[in-house]
Protein backbone atom coordinates (compact mmCIF):
# COMPACT_ATOMS: atom_id res chain seq x y z
CA UNK A 1 0.00 0.00 0.00
CA UNK A 2 2.83 2.40 0.90
CA UNK A 3 4.52 1.57 -2.42
CA UNK A 4 1.32 2.42 -4.34
CA UNK A 5 0.97 5.74 -2.50
CA UNK A 6 4.61 6.56 -3.20
CA UNK A 7 4.15 5.83 -6.92
CA UNK A 8 1.02 7.99 -7.02
CA UNK A 9 2.87 10.90 -5.41
CA UNK A 10 5.76 10.34 -7.83
CA UNK A 11 3.44 10.48 -10.86
CA UNK A 12 1.79 13.67 -9.62
CA UNK A 13 5.19 15.22 -8.83
CA UNK A 14 6.38 14.31 -12.33
CA UNK A 15 3.35 16.01 -13.85
CA UNK A 16 3.97 19.14 -11.80
CA UNK A 17 7.67 19.10 -12.71
CA UNK A 18 6.90 18.96 -16.43
CA UNK A 19 4.52 21.90 -16.15
CA UNK A 20 7.10 23.88 -14.14
CA UNK A 21 9.79 23.18 -16.74
CA UNK A 22 7.49 24.31 -19.55
CA UNK A 23 6.72 27.44 -17.56
CA UNK A 24 10.38 28.19 -16.85
CA UNK A 25 11.26 28.01 -20.54
CA UNK A 26 8.21 29.99 -21.64
CA UNK A 27 9.44 33.50 -22.57
CA UNK A 28 6.12 35.03 -21.52
CA UNK A 29 6.01 33.56 -17.99
CA UNK A 30 6.52 37.03 -16.52
CA UNK A 31 3.10 38.05 -17.91
CA UNK A 32 1.25 35.41 -15.87
CA UNK A 33 0.03 37.89 -13.20
CA UNK A 34 -1.37 40.24 -15.82
CA UNK A 35 -3.05 37.35 -17.64
CA UNK A 36 -4.68 36.06 -14.47
CA UNK A 37 -6.21 39.50 -13.89
CA UNK A 38 -7.54 39.43 -17.45
CA UNK A 39 -9.44 36.16 -17.03
CA UNK A 40 -13.24 36.21 -17.02
CA UNK A 41 -13.87 33.81 -14.15
CA UNK A 42 -17.49 33.20 -15.11
CA UNK A 43 -16.27 31.45 -18.27
CA UNK A 44 -13.70 29.58 -16.19
CA UNK A 45 -16.46 28.43 -13.83
CA UNK A 46 -18.24 27.19 -16.94
CA UNK A 47 -15.23 24.97 -17.68
CA UNK A 48 -15.25 23.64 -14.11
CA UNK A 49 -18.99 23.03 -14.45
CA UNK A 50 -18.39 21.10 -17.69
CA UNK A 51 -15.94 18.85 -15.82
CA UNK A 52 -18.45 18.31 -13.02
CA UNK A 53 -21.12 17.47 -15.60
CA UNK A 54 -18.68 14.99 -17.17
CA UNK A 55 -18.48 13.23 -13.78
CA UNK A 56 -22.27 13.23 -13.39
CA UNK A 57 -22.68 11.72 -16.84
CA UNK A 58 -20.03 9.10 -16.04
CA UNK A 59 -21.98 8.13 -12.91
CA UNK A 60 -25.31 8.13 -14.73
CA UNK A 61 -23.99 5.89 -17.50
CA UNK A 62 -22.53 3.50 -14.92
CA UNK A 63 -25.82 3.42 -13.02
CA UNK A 64 -27.67 2.67 -16.24
CA UNK A 65 -25.24 -0.12 -17.19
CA UNK A 66 -25.51 -1.81 -13.77
CA UNK A 67 -29.31 -1.53 -13.79
CA UNK A 68 -29.45 -3.17 -17.21
CA UNK A 69 -27.74 -6.38 -16.10
CA UNK A 70 -28.19 -6.58 -12.32
CA UNK A 71 -30.20 -4.05 -10.32
CA UNK A 72 -30.67 -0.31 -9.99
CA UNK A 73 -28.25 1.37 -7.59
CA UNK A 74 -28.39 4.93 -6.29
CA UNK A 75 -26.79 7.68 -8.33
CA UNK A 76 -24.76 8.64 -5.24
CA UNK A 77 -23.07 5.21 -5.16
CA UNK A 78 -22.49 5.33 -8.91
CA UNK A 79 -20.98 8.80 -8.52
CA UNK A 80 -18.53 7.53 -5.90
CA UNK A 81 -17.49 4.58 -8.06
CA UNK A 82 -17.15 6.84 -11.12
CA UNK A 83 -14.87 9.31 -9.31
CA UNK A 84 -12.79 6.51 -7.82
CA UNK A 85 -12.29 5.19 -11.35
CA UNK A 86 -11.33 8.66 -12.59
CA UNK A 87 -8.76 8.97 -9.80
CA UNK A 88 -7.05 5.64 -10.41
CA UNK A 89 -7.10 6.16 -14.17
CA UNK A 90 -5.30 9.46 -13.61
CA UNK A 91 -2.51 8.01 -11.47
CA UNK A 92 -1.78 4.71 -13.24
CA UNK A 93 0.02 4.03 -16.55
CA UNK A 94 -2.30 3.56 -19.56
CA UNK A 95 -5.21 4.56 -17.24
CA UNK A 96 -5.24 0.90 -16.21
CA UNK A 97 -6.08 1.19 -12.52
CA UNK A 98 -9.61 2.55 -12.69
CA UNK A 99 -11.68 -0.55 -13.48
CA UNK A 100 -10.07 -2.96 -10.94
CA UNK A 101 -10.69 -0.51 -8.11
CA UNK A 102 -14.21 0.22 -9.35
CA UNK A 103 -14.98 -3.51 -9.30
CA UNK A 104 -13.60 -3.68 -5.74
CA UNK A 105 -15.82 -0.83 -4.52
CA UNK A 106 -18.85 -2.15 -6.39
CA UNK A 107 -18.40 -5.47 -4.59
CA UNK A 108 -18.39 -3.55 -1.30
CA UNK A 109 -21.75 -2.09 -2.34
CA UNK A 110 -23.14 -5.60 -2.89
CA UNK A 111 -22.64 -5.96 -6.64
CA UNK A 112 -21.07 -9.35 -7.53
CA UNK A 113 -17.71 -9.22 -9.28
CA UNK A 114 -19.08 -10.78 -12.48
CA UNK A 115 -21.88 -8.23 -12.83
CA UNK A 116 -19.60 -5.36 -11.80
CA UNK A 117 -16.93 -6.24 -14.35
CA UNK A 118 -19.58 -6.84 -17.03
CA UNK A 119 -21.24 -3.46 -16.52
CA UNK A 120 -17.85 -1.74 -16.71
CA UNK A 121 -16.93 -3.70 -19.83
CA UNK A 122 -20.22 -2.73 -21.50
CA UNK A 123 -19.72 0.90 -20.46
CA UNK A 124 -16.16 0.85 -21.82
CA UNK A 125 -17.30 -0.70 -25.10
CA UNK A 126 -19.95 1.98 -25.60
CA UNK A 127 -17.40 4.64 -24.66
CA UNK A 128 -14.92 3.42 -27.26
CA UNK A 129 -17.62 3.25 -29.96
CA UNK A 130 -18.85 6.77 -29.14
CA UNK A 131 -15.28 8.09 -29.07
CA UNK A 132 -14.47 6.47 -32.42
CA UNK A 133 -17.59 7.99 -34.03
CA UNK A 134 -16.86 11.37 -32.44
CA UNK A 135 -13.31 11.42 -33.72
CA UNK A 136 -14.38 10.13 -37.13
CA UNK A 137 -16.69 13.15 -37.39
CA UNK A 138 -13.79 15.35 -36.32
CA UNK A 139 -11.62 13.84 -39.07
CA UNK A 140 -14.36 14.40 -41.67
CA UNK A 141 -15.30 17.96 -40.73
CA UNK A 142 -11.87 19.21 -39.69
CA UNK A 143 -9.63 17.21 -42.04
CA UNK A 144 -8.15 20.44 -43.38
CA UNK A 145 -6.92 21.42 -39.94
CA UNK A 146 -5.29 18.12 -39.09
CA UNK A 147 -3.63 17.88 -42.52
CA UNK A 148 -2.28 21.42 -42.15
CA UNK A 149 -0.49 20.46 -38.93
CA UNK A 150 2.96 18.82 -38.74
CA UNK A 151 2.87 15.22 -39.95
CA UNK A 152 3.65 13.97 -36.42
CA UNK A 153 0.32 15.28 -35.10
CA UNK A 154 -1.59 13.49 -37.84
CA UNK A 155 0.34 10.24 -37.22
CA UNK A 156 -0.32 10.34 -33.48
CA UNK A 157 -4.01 11.10 -34.03
CA UNK A 158 -4.31 8.26 -36.55
CA UNK A 159 -2.57 5.80 -34.21
CA UNK A 160 -4.91 6.84 -31.40
CA UNK A 161 -7.93 6.34 -33.66
CA UNK A 162 -6.75 2.87 -34.72
CA UNK A 163 -6.08 1.85 -31.11
CA UNK A 164 -9.55 2.97 -30.02
CA UNK A 165 -11.17 1.25 -33.00
CA UNK A 166 -9.15 -1.90 -32.33
CA UNK A 167 -10.29 -1.87 -28.71
CA UNK A 168 -13.91 -1.92 -29.87
CA UNK A 169 -13.28 -4.95 -32.09
CA UNK A 170 -11.33 -6.80 -29.38
CA UNK A 171 -13.91 -6.20 -26.64
CA UNK A 172 -16.75 -7.31 -28.90
CA UNK A 173 -14.92 -10.48 -29.94
CA UNK A 174 -13.95 -11.09 -26.32
CA UNK A 175 -17.55 -10.71 -25.14
CA UNK A 176 -19.26 -12.98 -27.67
CA UNK A 177 -16.73 -15.82 -27.75
CA UNK A 178 -16.82 -18.01 -24.66
CA UNK A 179 -13.79 -19.92 -25.91
CA UNK A 180 -11.80 -16.70 -26.28
CA UNK A 181 -12.63 -15.35 -22.83
CA UNK A 182 -11.84 -18.68 -21.17
CA UNK A 183 -8.60 -18.98 -23.13
CA UNK A 184 -7.42 -15.48 -22.23
CA UNK A 185 -8.25 -15.87 -18.54
CA UNK A 186 -6.65 -19.29 -18.36
CA UNK A 187 -3.50 -17.94 -20.05
CA UNK A 188 -3.33 -15.12 -17.49
CA UNK A 189 -3.80 -17.55 -14.60
CA UNK A 190 -1.06 -19.82 -15.96
CA UNK A 191 1.30 -16.87 -16.20
CA UNK A 192 0.52 -15.84 -12.62
CA UNK A 193 1.03 -19.46 -11.53
CA UNK A 194 4.35 -19.62 -13.37
CA UNK A 195 5.67 -16.54 -11.57
CA UNK A 196 4.26 -17.94 -8.30
CA UNK A 197 1.64 -15.27 -7.66
CA UNK A 198 -0.96 -18.07 -7.70
CA UNK A 199 -0.18 -21.27 -5.81
CA UNK A 200 -3.06 -23.54 -6.83
CA UNK A 201 -3.98 -23.08 -10.50
CA UNK A 202 -7.00 -25.41 -10.42
CA UNK A 203 -8.47 -23.73 -7.36
CA UNK A 204 -8.03 -20.27 -8.88
CA UNK A 205 -9.69 -21.42 -12.12
CA UNK A 206 -12.67 -22.86 -10.23
CA UNK A 207 -13.11 -19.62 -8.29
CA UNK A 208 -13.14 -17.52 -11.42
CA UNK A 209 -15.49 -19.77 -13.41
CA UNK A 210 -18.56 -18.26 -11.76
CA UNK A 211 -17.44 -14.73 -12.65
CA UNK A 212 -16.89 -15.80 -16.26
CA UNK A 213 -20.44 -17.18 -16.41
CA UNK A 214 -21.80 -13.94 -14.90
CA UNK A 215 -19.90 -11.96 -17.52
CA UNK A 216 -21.26 -14.03 -20.42
CA UNK A 217 -24.84 -13.84 -19.08
CA UNK A 218 -24.55 -10.07 -18.70
CA UNK A 219 -23.29 -9.61 -22.25
CA UNK A 220 -26.13 -11.72 -23.64
CA UNK A 221 -28.65 -9.61 -21.68
CA UNK A 222 -27.68 -6.45 -23.56
CA UNK A 223 -27.12 -8.03 -26.97
CA UNK A 224 -29.98 -7.06 -29.23
CA UNK A 225 -31.14 -4.33 -26.83
CA UNK A 226 -30.25 -1.62 -29.32
CA UNK A 227 -32.44 1.01 -27.65
CA UNK A 228 -30.48 0.73 -24.39
CA UNK A 229 -27.15 0.74 -26.21
CA UNK A 230 -28.21 3.76 -28.28
CA UNK A 231 -29.23 5.61 -25.12
CA UNK A 232 -25.87 4.85 -23.49
CA UNK A 233 -24.14 5.94 -26.69
CA UNK A 234 -25.92 9.31 -26.73
CA UNK A 235 -25.17 9.82 -23.04
CA UNK A 236 -21.51 9.05 -23.68
CA UNK A 237 -21.46 11.37 -26.69
CA UNK A 238 -22.74 14.20 -24.48
CA UNK A 239 -20.21 13.26 -21.79
CA UNK A 240 -17.34 13.53 -24.28
CA UNK A 241 -18.68 16.88 -25.50
CA UNK A 242 -18.59 18.19 -21.93
CA UNK A 243 -14.97 17.13 -21.60
CA UNK A 244 -13.86 18.44 -24.98
CA UNK A 245 -15.62 21.78 -24.45
CA UNK A 246 -13.54 22.67 -21.36
CA UNK A 247 -10.85 24.14 -23.61
CA UNK A 248 -13.48 26.36 -25.26
CA UNK A 249 -14.52 27.78 -21.88
CA UNK A 250 -10.85 28.54 -21.14
CA UNK A 251 -10.54 30.14 -24.59
CA UNK A 252 -13.51 32.42 -23.91
CA UNK A 253 -12.23 33.18 -20.40
CA UNK A 254 -9.36 35.12 -22.02
CA UNK A 255 -11.82 37.21 -24.02
CA UNK A 256 -11.12 35.33 -27.27
CA UNK A 257 -14.06 34.69 -29.58
CA UNK A 258 -12.80 34.22 -33.16
CA UNK A 259 -12.87 30.40 -33.14
CA UNK A 260 -16.15 28.51 -32.91
CA UNK A 261 -16.95 26.05 -30.14
CA UNK A 262 -17.10 23.28 -32.74
CA UNK A 263 -13.58 24.07 -33.96
CA UNK A 264 -12.08 23.80 -30.50
CA UNK A 265 -14.14 20.76 -29.50
CA UNK A 266 -13.04 18.82 -32.58
CA UNK A 267 -9.40 19.85 -32.17
CA UNK A 268 -9.59 18.73 -28.55
CA UNK A 269 -10.84 15.38 -29.83
CA UNK A 270 -7.73 15.19 -32.02
CA UNK A 271 -5.54 15.90 -28.99
CA UNK A 272 -7.36 13.26 -26.96
CA UNK A 273 -6.68 10.70 -29.69
CA UNK A 274 -3.05 11.71 -30.07
CA UNK A 275 -2.18 11.29 -26.37
CA UNK A 276 -4.54 8.44 -25.45
CA UNK A 277 -2.00 5.66 -26.04
CA UNK A 278 0.90 7.27 -24.14
CA UNK A 279 1.81 5.06 -21.16
CA UNK A 280 2.43 7.77 -18.58
CA UNK A 281 -0.28 8.39 -15.95
CA UNK A 282 -2.62 11.09 -17.21
CA UNK A 283 -0.60 11.04 -20.46
CA UNK A 284 1.88 13.24 -18.61
CA UNK A 285 4.20 15.10 -20.95
CA UNK A 286 2.25 14.18 -24.07
CA UNK A 287 -0.81 16.13 -22.92
CA UNK A 288 1.12 19.31 -22.13
CA UNK A 289 3.21 19.37 -25.30
CA UNK A 290 0.22 18.20 -27.34
CA UNK A 291 -1.80 21.17 -26.08
CA UNK A 292 0.97 23.51 -27.25
CA UNK A 293 1.05 21.82 -30.64
CA UNK A 294 -2.67 21.63 -31.33
CA UNK A 295 -3.90 24.89 -29.80
CA UNK A 296 -1.19 27.34 -30.83
CA UNK A 297 -3.47 28.50 -33.67
CA UNK A 298 -6.16 29.54 -31.15
CA UNK A 299 -4.13 30.99 -28.27
CA UNK A 300 -1.53 33.73 -28.57
CA UNK A 301 2.01 32.81 -27.57
CA UNK A 302 1.79 34.81 -24.34
CA UNK A 303 -1.44 33.02 -23.33
CA UNK A 304 -0.92 29.39 -24.29
CA UNK A 305 1.06 28.36 -21.18
CA UNK A 306 -1.52 29.65 -18.70
CA UNK A 307 -4.30 28.18 -20.90
CA UNK A 308 -2.59 24.78 -20.81
CA UNK A 309 -2.10 25.08 -17.04
CA UNK A 310 -5.78 25.86 -16.46
CA UNK A 311 -6.80 22.98 -18.75
CA UNK A 312 -4.63 20.50 -16.81
CA UNK A 313 -5.88 21.83 -13.47
CA UNK A 314 -9.49 21.23 -14.50
CA UNK A 315 -9.16 17.99 -16.47
CA UNK A 316 -6.43 16.25 -14.47
CA UNK A 317 -5.90 17.69 -10.99
CA UNK A 318 -9.61 18.08 -10.29
CA UNK A 319 -9.97 14.35 -11.04
CA UNK A 320 -7.14 13.53 -8.64
CA UNK A 321 -8.45 15.84 -5.90
CA UNK A 322 -12.10 14.79 -6.14
CA UNK A 323 -11.29 11.07 -6.37
CA UNK A 324 -8.88 11.18 -3.44
CA UNK A 325 -11.54 12.88 -1.28
CA UNK A 326 -14.07 10.16 -2.11
CA UNK A 327 -11.51 7.45 -1.27
CA UNK A 328 -10.64 9.24 1.99
CA UNK A 329 -14.29 9.55 3.07
CA UNK A 330 -14.95 5.91 2.13
CA UNK A 331 -11.98 4.86 4.28
CA UNK A 332 -13.20 6.92 7.22
CA UNK A 333 -16.68 5.42 6.81
CA UNK A 334 -15.24 1.91 6.95
CA UNK A 335 -13.39 2.74 10.17
CA UNK A 336 -16.60 3.92 11.81
CA UNK A 337 -18.47 0.82 10.64
CA UNK A 338 -15.86 -1.47 12.16
CA UNK A 339 -16.00 0.42 15.46
CA UNK A 340 -19.79 -0.01 15.77
- Give the residue-averaged pLDDT of 147-174: 75
Domain assignment of residue 99, yes or no: yes
User: Which of 4-13, 70-79, 137-146 has maximum average pLDDT?
Assistant: 70-79
- What pLDDT shows up at residue 92? 81
Domain assignment of residue 80, yes or no: yes
The pLDDT confidence band at residue 43, using thresholds 50, 70 and 90, is: very high
The whole-angstrom separation of Cα 275 and Cα 193 is 34
Share the mean pLDDT of the chain.
82
The pLDDT confidence band at residue 60, using thresholds 50, 70 and 90, is: very high
Q: Give the tens place of pLDDT for each residue, 110-125.
A: 998 878 888 888 888 8
Domain assignment of residue 266, yes or no: yes
Among 156-160, 202-206, 273-277, the range scoring the smallest mean pLDDT is: 202-206
* pLDDT above 70 for 9: no
The whole-angstrom separation of Cα 50 and Cα 6 is 31
The whole-angstrom separation of Cα 268 and Cα 152 is 16
The whole-angstrom separation of Cα 292 and Cα 18 is 13
| Domain that residue 283 falls in | 56-339
- What pLDDT shows up at residue 326? 93
| Reported pTM | 0.83
Domain assignment of residue 13, yes or no: no
Split into its structural domains, the chain has a count of 1
- Give the residue-averaged pLDDT of 192-210: 70
Handedness of CA 306, 310, 315, 321 (dihedral sign): positive
- Give the residue-averaged pLDDT of 234-246: 96
Domain assignment of residue 247, yes or no: yes
For the chain, give percent helix, strand, coil, nearest 5: 85, 0, 15
Domain assignment of residue 15, yes or no: no
Domain assignment of residue 4, yes or no: no
* pLDDT above 80 for 236: yes
Q: Give the tens place of pLDDT for each residue, 98-108.
A: 888 898 899 88
Amino acid sequence: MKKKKSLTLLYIALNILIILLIGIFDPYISDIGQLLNRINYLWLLGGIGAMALYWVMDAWILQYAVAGIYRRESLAKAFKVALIGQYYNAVTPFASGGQPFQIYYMKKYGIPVGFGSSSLMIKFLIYQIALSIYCLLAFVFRAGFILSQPLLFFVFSLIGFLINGGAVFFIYAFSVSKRMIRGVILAILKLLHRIRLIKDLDEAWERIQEHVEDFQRSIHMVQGNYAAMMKMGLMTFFQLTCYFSITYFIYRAFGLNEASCLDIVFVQAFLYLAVSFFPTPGATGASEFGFYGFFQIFFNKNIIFIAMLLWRLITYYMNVAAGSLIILFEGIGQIFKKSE
